[in-house]
Amino acid sequence: MKIGSHVSMSGKEMMLGSVKEALSYDATTFMFYTGAPQNTARKPVSQLRVEEAKALMAEHHIDIQDVVVHAPYIINLANTIKPETFELAVRFLKEEIERCEAIGIKRLVLHPGSHVKAGDEAGLDQIVKGLNEVLHEDQKVHIALETMAGKGSEVGKTFDQLQYIIEHTKLSSLLGVCLDTCHLHDAGYDLTHFDDLLKEFDQKIGLDRLLVVHVNDSKNERGAHKDRHENIGYGYIGFDTLNTIVHHPQLKDVPKILETPYIDGKAPYREEINMFVHQTFNNGLK
């Protein structure tokens, strides 16, 4: 099963440390940020210890094709109010793609953005504009637009909105989707009818575009539009529903990434991954 979690990349070991952290969780894949998600400070790829990381991954049969990078939150392609914010988003997303290309990453998760009170339609068109400036024909990196909870002025909260972005972007073959279970639930989707959800996704977007799944429980009731992640089995989605999703045969080859909260300052990912491996809820986790 292709399952892992968000891991850090910092200190002297950089990406090598990311792999070691993932292995400590019994993970078979992982996701990382190329730097702090709140700013644009980035080290040169030459300092990230990529080749050592790949060697360790190969020893443990982790395929670089299954590893995910998450673009930083400061990228907001949907902003039509502040040109400087949009220009920063375009420039920095281009740089993130170049970093992923240099590392060998093929899956880059991106929050579509927030329209900042300009309205959904304006925000969606601005995202299309930005993607048309960013994407180029010879790139190997695919952008996975993340499903959002719909808090504030977020766009990307429905399959229809993601379909609009994909269909109106020139190089649409480079676009895919990251399904986030907490975000879907908070946006109003019923995950207990996951086959129906996948059918709708396939009709509107296509299962071939499903590149990543973020596996998170939710602190909120369905449709709350709040985006507050909870540990596996302790939220309103529940272990059984999430376990069904993780083991769904149509998602067999899709990397699944946990982004659940730390417990008492410690990462819960080893225990949560093993819950899914053994398909048994650990009610002593918290």
Sequence ranges of the binding site: 70, 111, 146, 180, 183, 214, 227, 229, 259
For the chain, give the number of residues.
286
Per-residue DSSP letter, 154:
B
* Rounded CA separation 177/168 (Å): 15
Is residue 65 within 8 A of residue 51, CB to CB? The reply is no
Distances (CA, A) of 109 to 68, 126, 255: 7, 18, 12
Residue 212 parent element (H or E) = strand 210-215
φ and ψ at residue 15, rounded to 5 degrees: -65, -30
Is residue 17 within 8 A of residue 8, CB to CB? The reply is yes
Question: Binding site for Zn(2+): what residues are annotated?
Answer: 70, 111, 146, 180, 183, 214, 227, 229, 259
Per-residue DSSP letter, 253:
T
